[in-house]
Amino acid sequence: MSFRVDVWEGGRIALFSLKANRLRTVLTTVGIGVGVCTLLAIVGIIQGINQSFADQLEQIGSNTIQVSKFPWTMGGDWWEYRNRKNLSADLVPAILKSSEHVVAAAPIYFERAEARFLDRRMSSVLVLGTTPDAAIISSFFVDLGRFLTTADVETRSQVVVLGSEVARTLFPGLNPLGHRLVLGSKPYRVVGVMESKGTVLGDNQDLQVFIPYRSFQSHFGKRNSPVINVMVDSPDNVLSAQDLIGAALRRERKTPPGAGDDFALNRPEQLANMYAQLTGALYGAATGVGLITLLVGGIGIMNIMLVSVRERTREIGVRRALGARKRTIIIQFLMEAASVSAVGGVMGTLVGLGLAKTVSWITPLAAAVQPLTIVGGVGFAAAVGLLFGIWPAARAANLDPVEALRHD
């Protein structure tokens, strides 16, 4: 009961003291506020980037594997990868038969070409030569018309499915279905328009078009090495399927025993691990900057509290002479220090959130601050005040009452 009284009285006296010294209180809270603001702004931006990256990886799919000539994470000699034998669409049947867990596989050839319709042009449109399974694996959905069919692939039909932005740019106000556009030097009939998918890992998915891969080979040649996207029935079976796919590819490509793989099996998990390594150091350094700023603010609080103890020495002597215990004096000064820090933490939190959101509005960087981070920021600021208020509080409590009463 007496402890609660001490806390209540200590808090009341602390607030009265802070109100009586408004300028000092404001200047002290600014120091803590700057630290919390810096920390929350940095953490908010990093958390936003992390969330954005995780969302984009989710679009790739946790149950997918990409077979390619180059690994996503370059760990060896680039020229070694460059000199590997090209992949081909002929490997797809072997991949489909390699494991019962493989449910779909699609080769994807890439080329950039100009797209034209009447007097409208788009340069460097990404042309993807593929099969119907590509839409299933990559979660592409058709908004108008249809996607590619097996018949389109087998007959080398010159049909095209447009990304949403390509359709809007070349056919403003028109239904593009049935119209013919020119890709490079050949005409293609529009049979579908995809739903908008946005940007994934820096690539605008709406600025691409799909044609049958055999038509792609007839138009752009067979020299390109495709990637082969593979879907597994469950994320739990990805690793086992990967091993079987690797063995099947080695047989098909006649890779000698003991020789390394002449292909790469890439998974989104590998990108996530690489991203974590790249951002881990950045996160630590940025957090360190914020903590150093908070440390400087804490030292400021300690300095101000020592000054306050000196100014109120006679008051402390009177209270001790009237029976106030050391614990009461300590609680009073600790609550004063924590109150200053907490107010600074709230101010810094609001400004930090505003800065993070402003950065997300004016730059491509995302910002997302979790509620727990906000609570943690204010709580940590109060903890800094308590920590740096211990010495001044102990010094005040240990003053000799007789000497304190003689102080002018």
Say yes or no: 350 and 389 in one domain: yes
Looking at 223, 240, 262, the residue that finishes a domain is: 262
95 and 15 together in one domain: no
Residue 250 lies in a domain: yes
Residue 232 falls inside a structural domain: yes
- Phi-psi map region of 361: left, alpha, beta (phi>0 left; psi -120 to 50 alpha): alpha
Are 111 and 87 contacting, i.e. CB atoms less than 8 angstroms apart?
Answer: no
79 lies in some domain: no
How far is it, in rounded angstroms, from Cα 359 to Cα 181? Answer: 40
Residues 245 and 307 in one domain: no
Same domain for 122 and 22: no
As a whole number of Å, the CA-based R_g of the chain is 33
Rounded Cα gap, residues 250 and 261, in angstroms? 7
Contact in structure between 14 and 336 (CB atoms under 8 Å): yes
Same domain? For 325 and 201 the reply is no
Given 215, 242, 262, the domain boundary residue is 262
**3 state SS for 2-37:** HHHHHHHHHHHHHHHHHHHCHHHHHHHHHHHHHHHH
User: Which domain range does residue 388 map to?
Assistant: 2-56+272-406
Q: Which of 229, 262, 295 is the last residue of a domain?
A: 262
Amino acid at site 331: I
Q: Is residue 69 part of a domain?
A: no
Q: How does pLDDT run along the chain (408 residues), one tens digit per residue?
A: 455 545 555 555 556 665 656 666 676 777 777 777 777 777 777 777 777 766 666 666 678 888 988 887 766 677 777 888 888 999 999 999 998 999 999 999 999 999 999 889 998 899 999 999 999 898 888 999 999 999 999 999 999 999 999 999 999 989 999 999 999 889 999 999 999 887 766 678 889 999 999 999 999 987 888 999 999 988 888 889 889 999 999 999 888 887 888 888 888 777 766 676 667 777 777 777 777 777 777 777 787 777 777 766 777 677 777 667 777 777 777 777 777 777 777 888 778 777 777 777 776 666 666 677 777 777 777 777 777 777 777 777 777 666 656 655
Question: 9 in a domain, yes or no?
Answer: yes
Based on the domain organization, do 165 and 246 belong to the same domain? yes
Q: Is 32 domain-assigned?
A: yes
Q: Assess whether 143 and 242 both reside in one domain.
A: yes
Regarding whether 216 and 362 lie in a shared domain, the answer is no
CA separation for the pair 82, 102 (Å, rounded): 28
- Give whole-number Cα distances, 408 to 19, 63, 322, 326, 405, in Å: 23, 77, 19, 21, 8
Are residues 144 and 277 located together in one domain of the fold? Answer: no
Residue 244 makes CB contacts below 8 A (sequence gap 6+) with 98, 99
Task: Please tell me the total count of domains within the chain.
Answer: 2
CA–CA distance, 181 with 158 (Å, rounded to integer)? 10
Cα-based angle 191, 192, 194 (whole degrees, multiple of 5):
165
| Residue 140 counted as domain residue | yes
Residues 112 and 252 in one domain: yes
Q: Verify that 177 and 315 share a domain, yes or no.
A: no
Tell me which residue has tokens 């709406």. Answer: 206
The pTM score is 0.67
Say if residue 164 is in the same domain as residue 232. yes
Cβ within 8 Å of residue 7, ≥6 positions away: 331, 335
Residue 70 lies in a domain: no
CB within 8 Å of 104: residues ≥ 6 apart: 96, 133, 136, 137, 230, 231
